[in-house]
């Protein structure tokens, strides 16, 4: 998974609640070492846009995500497979005029339920869903391939 920073991808914005795995996935897609780094602001770097979870968790900040989605080719909604609920309401994908994909993170954690998280993303309107585990590498290459198409 190293040296991903040389890959030309469609620009992807990642949205999800705090601790859903957005920054970790961003680091893996860039080929960086994984280190916890709380995202305090929207970070544009290469083809990836990392957003703070508070933007998805707060109504007034959530409006900014809709605006920032216009900077991307693809919107990635993240739901951790370890979460007991999803922030995303049914059919939210119609809020942007970009392709929206679902990304289930932490899919291989001991308490994970990736099928439940994938169903929540389907209900939200995601037609394409990737099951990812940034620590083990599960699904990362499939996501990279998709972003390169």
Say if domain 26-148 classifies as CATH 3.20.20.70. Answer: no
For the chain, give every domain's residue range: 26-148
Q: Quote the pLDDT of residue 1.
A: 44
H or E segment and range at residue 131: strand 128-131
85-119 pLDDT per residue, tens: 999 999 999 888 999 999 999 999 999 999 999 99
Q: Quote the pLDDT of residue 38.
A: 74
The pTM for the full model equals 0.89
* CA trace torsion 4, 7, 10, 14 (10° rounding): 10
2-49 pLDDT per residue, tens: 445 445 579 999 999 999 999 999 999 988 888 877 777 678 888 999
Please work out, in degrees rounded to the nearest 5, the angle formed at the alpha carbon of residue 97 by the alpha carbons of 46 and 141.
45
């Amino acid at each position: 998974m190293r040296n991903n920073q040389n890959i030309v991808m469609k620009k992807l914005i990642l949205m999800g609640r705090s601790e859903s795995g957005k920054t970790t996935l961003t680091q893996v897609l860039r080929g960086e070492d994984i280190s916890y780094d709380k995202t305090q602001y929207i970070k544009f770097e290469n083809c990836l846009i990392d957003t703070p979870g508070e933007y998805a968790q707060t109504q007034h900040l959530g409006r900014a995500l809709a605006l920032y989605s216009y900077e991307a080719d693809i919107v990635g909604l993240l739901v951790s497979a370890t979460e007991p609920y999803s922030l995303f309401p049914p059919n939210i994908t119609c809020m942007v005029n970009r392709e929206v994909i679902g990304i289930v993170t932490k899919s291989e954690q001991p308490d994970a339920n990736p099928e439940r998280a994938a169903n929540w993303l389907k209900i939200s309107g995601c037609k394409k869903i990737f099951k990812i585990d940034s620590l083990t590498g599960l699904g990362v290459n499939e996501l990279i391939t998709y972003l390169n198409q």
